[in-house]
Amino acid sequence: MKVMISGMNGTVAPVLASTLVAAGHTVIPWDRALVPTDNRGAITDFIRSENPGWFFHLANGSPAWAEAVAEICVKKNIRFLFTSSVSVFSASQQGPFTIEHQPQPDDDYGKYKLECETRIFAVNSKALVVRLGWQIGKAPGGNQMVDYLDRTFRSQGHLVASTNWYQACSFLEDTAVSLMSVMEAFPAGLYHLDGNPGLNFHEIVSGLNRRLGNPWKVVPADSPVQNNLLLDERVRVIPITRQFLDNQGK
């Protein structure tokens, strides 16, 4: 099946594309240099010419772009999936969050993602929106947790990690597999995708540190006190602890 993907210069999309290709799908990347995101005619022509079975919208861009693609897809009977974020919930809200919790974003990124969700569902009743947590790579590089931690350690000489912060997160490869499973079997609607089975941030950072050969000095802290976990029993995600255990040969 043909799958169109936006965001191929980002974090999740390239890993998702590789996962889809390995499963036998054909991936059509969105190239903004060739298809402007603010030109409705160009957007329509590109989608019509490729005629994919699915469109995965993973790129950051204007809410108007997300709305336009979602509307075009439903008119052409193309299934549409948008990846949102745990950031739609504010720091003042305490999880774990189910899809029934009402988001109250307090930063620009969270407000942007929530606006995209709202616009998409307004024009496409068949859309799927999947909220993700912080993504984890297997080495420094890219916009993901391990890179952030490594850069912070190099600039500060240590990492402060709260034992009272429960952060939604998953390894990139596991996120990609779960997104493909949603594509293959799930109906329209809102979903949460989280691979953290309940570890606090200090436990996560310590596990990643061991996995990388203990290059960081990790210091426990009491704050922030926050629970950002995402709950959704419908979406199966390999728990992040599997990666820690596998690295220890267990």
Render pLDDT for 147-164 as a digit per residue (tens, 0 to 9): 999 999 999 999 999 999
**What is the average per-residue pLDDT within 51-71?**
97
pLDDT at 250 over 50: no
**Tens digits of residue pLDDT in 101-114:** 999 999 999 999 99
Q: Specify the CATH number of the domain 2-133+171-193.
A: 3.40.50.720
Amino acid at 180: M
Model pLDDT, residue 249:
43
* Confidence bin at 246 (pLDDT 50/70/90): low
E strands along the chain, which residues? 2-6, 26-29, 54-57, 79-85, 128-132, 134-136, 159-162, 165-166, 169-171, 189-193, 218-221, 226-227
The confidence score (pLDDT) of residue 60 equals 94
pLDDT reading at 245 higher than 80: no
What is the pLDDT, as a whole number, of residue 216? 97
How far is 57 from 69, CA to CA, in rounded Å?
A: 8
Mean pLDDT score, 95-105? 97
How do residues 7-39 score in pLDDT, each as one tens digit?
Answer: 999 999 999 999 999 999 999 999 999 999 999
Q: Is the pTM of this model over 0.85?
A: yes
The whole-number pLDDT of residue 217 equals: 98
**pLDDT tens profile 204-234:** 999 999 999 999 999 999 999 999 999 999 9
pLDDT band at residue 244, thresholds of 50, 70 and 90?
confident
Cα separation, 13 vs 55, whole angstroms: 12
Spatial CA neighbour of 131 closest among 182, 93, 173: 182
Residue 85 has pLDDT above 60, yes or no: yes
Task: Indicate the domain borders of the chain.
Answer: 2-133+171-193, 135-167+196-228+238-247
pLDDT given for residue 247 in this prediction: 58
Q: Contacts for 23-29 with beta carbons within 8 Å, 24 or more apart?
A: 23/180, 25/1, 26/1, 26/2, 27/3, 28/2, 28/3, 28/4, 28/52, 29/4, 29/5
Per-residue pLDDT at 200? 98
pLDDT greater than 90 at residue 93:
yes
- Is residue 243 predicted with pLDDT exceeding 90? no
| Average confidence (pLDDT) over 59-65 | 96
